[in-house]
Amino acid sequence: MTIRRGASGADVKKIQARLAELNLYRGPIDGSFGGGTEAAVKTFQRSSGIAQDGSVGSETWTKLFGDAPPPVNDMAGKDIALRCLALTASFETGSMPPDCFCGVTGDFDGQGISFGALQWNLGQGTLQPLLAEMFEQHPALCRDIFHENFQVVTALGESNREEQIAFARSIQNRANFRINEPWKGMLKQLGRTPEFQTIQAEHAAKIYGRALAMCKDFGLATDRGAALMFDICVQNGSISAVVRAQIHADFASLPNPHDQVSRMRIIANRRASAARPDFVNDVRTRKLVIAEGEGTVHGIHY
């Protein structure tokens, strides 16, 4: 596992603390791998005589921690549907798991509050079912997160939508739509739990089902193919009949029609070209990252 800018969590804290011990890092030990942490890593790599890429792979980890075993990516062994959700959520939020599951924004769009990997919200009524399931299935865990505010959230579940949105607006800064503490922290803690991640994946199942149907239509038979189609469903909605015909025409000219990467490249480029002009580059970049299996989106290397 390689830890780089955009990552978060306990492993990042460990790296920051070690770099601070070496007087290379002077920022907060907050578990957020930003530019300051990256700069400190590069300085350490230079002094250690290894490649200065600013990321912590196995070589840099060993130089930092000796024989301590490197971390394992928690997503690696997860169900493919959850991994597809995590990848698209990381593109959308600019955060790696688990923080990609707990993106939270305020009422900038009139929806009260938006939360989670796919920004389910109160205004459209898409967030309430997730919270209701979490509180019903894991009440003890929710009590440990919300403490004295547990009853407040429970009561909100019994309120109408107007009351829910009014409450959401009361816990945020109306000038910049940022959620106030302690609510922001409690929601993020909720989003980091495997239990709520599972519920999010279950609510994204219809999208994943559409992605699998599209894989069948376009002859994709790999996990990356599923990830590509899932990302298209989330970011772009669908592939039109015209673009579908263009894609199949391009497939017919492939030297090896069974080459999965070549098929994904065609899909990525055709879907990007059909996007709104101001979104073409963003769509193409993230779709090609999936097709190629590596690349950079919004400054984060995948």
pLDDT in tens, the chain (302 residues): 788 887 888 899 999 999 999 999 999 999 989 899 999 999 999 999 999 999 999 999 999 999 888 887 778 888 999 999 999 999 998 888 888 999 999 999 999 999 999 999 999 999 999 999 999 999 999 999 999 999 999 999 999 999 999 999 999 999 999 999 999 999 999 999 999 999 999 999 999 999 999 999 999 999 999 999 999 999 999 999 999 999 999 999 999 999 999 999 999 999 999 999 999 999 999 999 999 999 999 988 88
Q: CA separation (Å) from 238 to 23, 107, 145, 267?
A: 50, 27, 37, 12
- Determine the Cα–Cα distance for residues 286 and 67; give it in Å rounded to an integer: 36
- Determine the Cα–Cα distance for residues 123 and 263; give it in Å rounded to an integer: 39
Nearest to 239 by CA among 175, 191, 287: 287
What are the φ/ψ torsions at residue 8 (nearest 5 degrees)?
Answer: -150, 165
pTM, to two decimals = 0.83
Length of the chain: 302
